[in-house]
A = this chain, B = another copy of it.
């Protein structure tokens, strides 16, 4: 979608109907034909990128499960998908973050954003749950707080990595991120975080 291209280059301000039309090689009238209002166009674009990211993640998980790879490895790969470490992921990150920023004021966008986050946590929780049946995860672990934790650390890391792309003393930010994700997964899977699960039940 042309909108995403414009956003990634110059942010939401760069997205005018005229420019979008030009960038897509069509006329202003036509984009109006498809999207009577600009807000609708933006909403559609946001849904579009959310869906794409989501399907990548889900493919990665289901693919890994099919190949009987250990759940922790599968999740590590899926979460790494969200870290902006190469230029492609970086632009994707930028686009969804711009929309997320706008979500703070536009309820329709906030919906998409919230739903995306919810789905991600759901997928993670599902994977953790599967891990139980394979004996990879402690049986008394509540998958939901675990999923919140994993989703949070991934999202937070993605921003740290985005800001400081090249990192301290030679170690790349992406490597640090991967290591942190690994150790988070280990923590969750060895049941180290049971402590707050039980605390919640109190």
Give the interface of A toward B (CB within 8 A).
10-11, 13-14, 94, 97-98, 100-102, 104-106, 110, 113-114, 117-118, 144-145, 148-149, 151-157, 159-160, 163-164, 168, 171, 175-176, 179-180, 182-183, 186-187, 192-193, 195-196, 199-200
Contacts and interface: CB of A to CB of B under 8 A. Distances in A.
A157 B160 contact: no
A10 B187 contact: no
Secondary structure of the A contact surface, majority rule: helix
Given A176-B196, A183-B196, A200-B179, A105 B151 contact: no
11 contacts: A98-B104, A98-B105, A100-B101, A101-B104, A152-B160, A155-B159, A156-B159, A176-B196, A179-B199, A183-B187, A187-B187
Contact of A157 (B97, B156, B179, B199): B156
Nearest to A121: B160
Which 5 A/B pairs are nearest by Cβ-Cβ distance?
A101-B101, A156-B156, A179-B196, A11-B105, A152-B156
Contacts of A148: 157, 160, 176, 180
A180 B114 contact: no
Contacts of A144: 168
Nearest to A114: B163
A154 B155 CA distance: 10
A184 to B, nearest CB: 8
B157 A183 contact: no
A192 B196 contact: no
A187 B144 CA distance: 19
Contacts of A193: 180, 183
Given A98-B101, A113-B163, A180 B196 contact: yes
A8 B73 CA distance: 41
B195 A192 contact: no
Nearest to A145: B176
A12 B105 CA distance: 9
